[in-house]
């Protein structure tokens, strides 16, 4: 595909990096020549220096024959105007824009084709809020990703010493839990992927990805680790857009406290939120944390815009006794650094946003993409179309499908029914198929599987 990416920040840079590796024709536009030059040295892409919403810059970037424009600059207004110009002047087929301000998102009629013709709206704050909410709703999980409108989930947990399945073969999972359908999609051991077989033995500290119906997640988690009690007390460091949204989602069911440094913002939060308690102060202030009984806190989540402040406050909270700590971290180098230490979960807005963007770039009918392990692996939800004559998957058993190396089919969602995939499972037309790839270089082969081809035979 020929894709124009506007904005070479963290999201635009990450997206260009992913797409350029997959043999797409990428043109990256930004006002900062030095950043573009650095990216061009590393990646196979074109760059254009200029304002992404200017018609002459878009024309120079190749908008006349582009398949897609992805506007992810730091300015909502630039992103929206760029999509309008791409539609009006160049008739670009697909227009994706990152829009962060709630003041725009509250008015959905703004984004109709006859108004601002944006095909896909991406709101990083909303995506991160959903991500944090799922982690809190599933104690013990490192990652929880929903597919098929929430009917099935892919969950990552770290196997602990003493878990019933640790030291045993995977095939014994069915004996431990008769009647509960699940499939281990992948195992990462010392950062190396292992494709699970029936005789694979789970070891302590393995990162295990399993697929199951949402209602069964807690039961399966208990097989891999000591089951965490449900969370009750949540402390959020930072009352910005994400902190406020998370508090609004959680305050009805949990005891939520927000620590906000800015006096005006703290006052606004206290007037806006219904039940959450708002504290004005520094989340890295040891005295404040002790006064607020940090040792009795179930989850401490640092959500400010400052990576270093998030890391330090989360580490301090953990040392003072918080059960689980999470930190929002923008810089990719920091994510790897902190997850191997005291902090339980590092939340990368770029990776969360990237998955939402990739779902609209993938060929075939791909409806959801989740980027895993900082982009090393990927989970995909694809819809099977056609029949046995025109499709490489429809009408075939799972063990007949020529899956690329490192790819597994974890589950099939048929209407409201969740089928955990086994060798004899037959894929039918309109099934939603959940796949796990430990080798992202094979993504094009997977996309090809789900493309209907009238000349297939």
Q: Look at the block and give the residue holding tokens 């944006």.
A: 118
Residue 258 has pLDDT above 70, yes or no: yes
Return the SS3 of 255: strand
Name the band, by pLDDT with cuts 50, 70 and 90, for residue 262.
very high
- Report the pLDDT value the prediction gives residue 285, as an integer from 0 to 100: 92
Q: Who contacts 182 (Cβ-Cβ below 8 Å, separation ≥6)?
A: 173, 210, 211, 212, 216, 220, 420
The angle, 0 to 180 degrees and rounded to 10, between the axes of the packed helices 33-42 and 10-21 is: 30
Render pLDDT for 2-21 as a digit per residue (tens, 0 to 9).
Answer: 999 999 988 888 888 878 87
Stretch (H or E) spanning 257 = strand 255-260
> Positive or negative, the Cα torsion across 310, 314, 317, 322?
positive
Confidence band for 457, pLDDT divided at 50, 70 and 90: very low
Taking phi over 0 as left and psi of -120 to 50 as alpha, with beta for the rest, 23 belongs to left
According to DSSP H, which parts of 138-233 are helical?
Answer: 173-176, 217-224
Using alpha carbons, select from 213, 204, 251 the residue that is nearest to residue 232: 251
Calpha distance 247→442 (Å, rounded) = 39
Instruction: Copy the structure tokens of residue 142.
Output: 């490192």
User: What integer pLDDT is reported at residue 454 of this predicted model?
Assistant: 46
Q: How far apart are CA 82 and CA 76, in angstroms?
A: 10
Contacts of 225 (CB under 8 A, 6+ apart): 140, 157, 158, 159, 160, 163
Q: Which residues contact 424 (CB under 8 A, 6 or more apart)?
A: 397, 398, 399
Q: What is the C-alpha to C-alpha distance for residues 284 and 17, in angstroms, rounded to an integer?
A: 35
Closest CA to 320 of 285, 347, 344: 285
By C-alpha distance, which of 336, 327, 408 is closest to 376?
A: 336
Domains (range + CATH), the chain: 2-122 (3.40.50.720), 128-224 (3.30.70.1450), 233-351 (3.40.50.720), 358-450 (3.30.70.1450)
What's the rounded Cα separation, in Å, for the pair 354 and 70? 11
d(CA 419, CA 425): 8
pLDDT at 451 over 90: no
Distance CA 335, CA 348 (A): 7
The pLDDT of residue 375: 61
- Which residues are CB-contacts of 174 (< 8 A; sequence separation ≥ 6)? none
Average pLDDT, the chain: 86
Asked if pLDDT for residue 45 goes beyond 80, the answer is yes
**Structure token pair of residue 451:** 């493309």
User: Quick count: other Cβ atoms within 10 Å of Cβ 221?
Assistant: 22
Q: How confident is the model at residue 456 (pLDDT cuts 50, 70, 90)?
A: very low
Residues of the chain with pLDDT > 70, as a percent, come to 95
Max mean pLDDT range (22-26, 29-33, 179-183, 349-353): 29-33
pLDDT above 80 (res 222): no
What are 109-165's pLDDT values in tens digits? Answer: 888 778 888 988 888 888 899 999 988 988 878 888 888 888 888 888 888 777 777
Q: What pLDDT digit, counting tens, does each position of 266-296 carry?
A: 999 999 999 999 999 999 999 999 999 999 9
- Report residue 404's pLDDT band, with 50, 70 and 90 as the boundaries: confident
Question: Is 348 in contact with 373 (CB distance < 8 Å)?
Answer: no
Summarize the confidence of residues 18-44 as an average pLDDT.
87
Neighbouring CB atoms inside 10 A of 294's CB total 20
Judge whether residue 305 has pLDDT over 60: yes
Per residue in 336-371, is it b (16+ CB within 10 Å) or e — as a string? eebbeeebbbbbbbbbbbbbbbbbbbbebbbebbbb
Closest CA to 435 of 385, 391, 390, 372: 372
Q: Assess whether pLDDT exceeds 80 at residue 59.
A: yes
The per-residue pLDDT for 295 is 93
pTM for the predicted model, two decimal places: 0.82
Nearest to 384 by CA among 361, 364, 405: 364
Whether the CB-CB separation of 239 and 301 falls below 8 Å is answered with no
**pLDDT digits 0-9 by tens, 330-368:** 887 777 677 667 888 888 888 888 877 877 776 657 778
Structure tokens at 173: 């999972």
Give SS3 for 92.
coil
């Amino acid at each position: 595909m020929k894709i124009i990416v506007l904005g070479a920040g963290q999201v635009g840079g990450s997206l260009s990096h992913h797409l350029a590796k997959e043999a797409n024709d990428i043109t990256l536009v930004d006002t900062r020549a030095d950043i573009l030059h650095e990216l061009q040295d590393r990646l196979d892409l074109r760059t254009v220096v200029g304002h992404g919403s200017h018609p002459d810059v878009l024309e120079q970037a190749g908008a006349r024959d582009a398949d897609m424009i992805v506007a992810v600059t730091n300015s909502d207004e630039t992103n929206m105007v760029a999509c309008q110009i791409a539609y009006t002047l160049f008739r670009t087929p697909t227009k994706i824009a990152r829009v962060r301000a709630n003041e725009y998102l509250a008015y959905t009629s703004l984004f109709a084709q006859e108004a601002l013709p944006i095909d896909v709206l991406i709101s990083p704050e909303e995506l991160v809020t959903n991500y944090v909410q799922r982690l809190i709703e599933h104690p013990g999980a490192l990652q929880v990703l929903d597919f098929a409108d929430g009917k099935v989930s892919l969950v990552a947990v770290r196997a602990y010493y003493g878990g019933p399945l640790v030291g045993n073969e995977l095939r014994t999972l069915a004996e431990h839990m008769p009647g509960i359908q699940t499939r281990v999609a992948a195992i990462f051991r010392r950062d190396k992927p292992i494709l699970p077989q029936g005789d694979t033995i789970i070891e302590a500290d393995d990162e295990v990805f399993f697929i199951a119906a949402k209602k069964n997640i807690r039961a399966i988690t208990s097989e891999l680790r000591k089951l965490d009690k449900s969370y009750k007390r949540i402390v959020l460091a930072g009352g910005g857009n994400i902190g406020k949204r998370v508090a609004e989602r959680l305050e009805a069911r949990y005891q939520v406290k927000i620590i906000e440094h800015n006096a005006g913002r703290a006052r606004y939060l206290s007037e806006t939120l219904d039940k959450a308690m708002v504290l004005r102060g520094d989340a890295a202030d040891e005295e404040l944390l002790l006064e607020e009984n940090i040792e009795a806190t179930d989850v401490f989540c640092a959500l400010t815009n400052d990576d270093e402040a998030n890391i330090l406050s989360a580490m301090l909270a953990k040392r003072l006794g918080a059960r689980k700590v999470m930190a929002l971290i923008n810089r990719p180098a920091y994510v790897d650094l902190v997850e191997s230490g005291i902090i339980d979960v590092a939340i990368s807005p770029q990776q969360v946003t990237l998955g939402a963007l990739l779902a609209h770039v993938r060929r075939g009918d791909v409806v959801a993409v989740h980027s895993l392990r900082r982009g090393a692996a990927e989970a995909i939800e694809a819809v099977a179309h056609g029949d046995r004559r025109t499709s490489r998957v429809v009408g075939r058993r799972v063990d007949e499908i020529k899956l690329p190396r490192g790819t597994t089919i974890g589950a099939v969602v048929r209407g409201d029914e969740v089928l955990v995939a086994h060798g004899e499972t037959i894929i039918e037309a309109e099934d939603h198929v959940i796949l796990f790839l430990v080798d992202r270089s094979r993504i094009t082969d997977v996309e090809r599987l789900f493309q209907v081809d009238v000349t297939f035979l």
